[in-house]
Amino acid sequence: MLRGMNEFDLIAELFAPLAAGYPGALGLKDDVAFLDQRPGLDIVTTVDAMVAGVHFLAKDPAGQIAAKLIRVNLSDLAAKGAAPFAVLLAAAFPRGVSEAWLRAFAQGLAADLKAFNIALIGGDTVATDGPLTLSVTAFGHVERGRALLRSGARAGDTLWVSGTIGDGTLGLRVALGELTDLDSGQRAMLLDRYRLPRPRIDLGARLVGLADAGMDISDGLVQDLGHLCRASGVGATIEAERVPLSEAARAVLRSGQTTLASLLTGGDDYELLFTAPPEAEGAIRALGGVSPIGRVEVGAGVRVRAGGGAVIPIVSGGWSHF
């Protein structure tokens, strides 16, 4: 229970309205919620935890923390081709958190739930002597048996990503006060990319039936491709010069303040990584906002090749699978 505040009153006032429109949430007045089952659809679920100082900065705006929390989970669902419909929230708020902060958090939550047309269907709020610690469990629907899994990649598939790669990790550096020589528009863009992931829900849904495998990029392109390759029992080669970079990322690269290897292994992209047979290329290009960046191969491990064909050595913290 929050100091000087009644947990139940807080939940009723700030969170209960977020359950509106979803009868199975029981108005957040029970201990449980009912999941919406629909004929022909699988229910997929995922959970992500975030800790202040690790996954976001404690000084980040409360509403943006709430939005990031929701979006990292929706990004996981999007990568499977699933349409999100509900979330559960478990929140450990630091003792002494202000009502103003909580209201801003709830407003950010409300705005995102509305934007993505999903409901808060339950949760648990506790107090902690430690940092703000949050977890969201998200639920989505996808055509039965057709979700894009990590394990579906096949040798010969083309490797694709959505959006641009490396902006999230540069945005964190902006948030930390670095990269001050960039122009303000580029700094703002990178910061936004770090704070507000855009889950590629529409794209993911359209990839069902076209792509063989999919996941979102949260830990870094190379690491996450490594996970996908292991789950699928394949290898992959990234052609570095085909990896889409934003103008801002190119500017930082030119200034010598980052390396291509850093961009390919930095976290917080929240773009989709997927593989598809070569014959799907036309249909996939037509979706827009996607780039082929390499190929899935027989074998294991991830290689990154420069334009001339030379392998770019990449070593990132703790990860040494190639």
Q: Which residues bind a second copy (CB under 8 A)?
A: 1, 6, 8, 26, 29-35, 37, 42-51, 53-55, 76-77, 79-80, 82, 88-92, 121-131, 133, 135, 137, 147, 149-151, 215-216, 227, 230-231, 317-319
Q: Which residue number, 126 or 306, has a Cβ lying nearer to a second copy?
A: 126
Q: Which residue number, 37 or 259, has a Cβ lying nearer to a second copy?
A: 37
Please check whether residue 212 is in contact with residue 130, taking contact to mean a CB–CB distance below 8 angstroms: no
Q: Which residue number, 14 or 121, has a Cβ lying nearer to a second copy?
A: 121
The closest alpha carbon to 195, from 176, 168, 220, 177, belongs to: 168
Distance (Å) of CA 256 to CA 8, 184, 188, 253, 308: 53, 18, 20, 5, 21
User: Nearest distance from residue 22's CB to a second copy, in Å?
Assistant: 12
User: Nearest distance from residue 75's CB to a second copy, in Å?
Assistant: 9
User: Nearest distance from residue 227's CB to a second copy, in Å?
Assistant: 7
d(CA 195, CA 199): 12
Q: Which residue number, 23 or 278, has a Cβ lying nearer to a second copy?
A: 23
User: Nearest distance from residue 96's CB to a second copy, in Å?
Assistant: 14
Q: Give the chain's largest Cα–Cα span.
A: 65
Quote the distance between the C-alpha of residue 119 and its chain's center: 19
The sign of the CA dihedral 106, 69, 292, 166 is positive
User: Nearest distance from residue 102's CB to a second copy, in Å?
Assistant: 16
Q: Which residue number, 121 or 248, has a Cβ lying nearer to a second copy?
A: 121
Q: Which residue number, 36 or 178, has a Cβ lying nearer to a second copy?
A: 36
Burial class of residue 255 (count of CB atoms within 10 Å of its CB; 0-12, 13-18, 19+): exposed
Which token pair is 173?
Answer: 């550096």
- Helix or strand (DSSP H, E) at 72: helix 62-79
d(CA 222, CA 308): 19
Residue 251's contacts (CB-CB under 8 Å, 6 or more residues apart) are 182, 186
User: Nearest distance from residue 261's CB to a second copy, in Å?
Assistant: 19
User: Nearest distance from residue 100's CB to a second copy, in Å?
Assistant: 21
Between strands 213-217 and 271-276, the pairing is antiparallel
d(CA 256, CA 142): 43
d(CA 140, CA 87): 9
Q: Which residue number, 92 or 188, has a Cβ lying nearer to a second copy?
A: 92
User: Nearest distance from residue 239's CB to a second copy, in Å?
Assistant: 25
Q: Which residue number, 31 or 279, has a Cβ lying nearer to a second copy?
A: 31
Which token pair is 278?
Answer: 């070569």
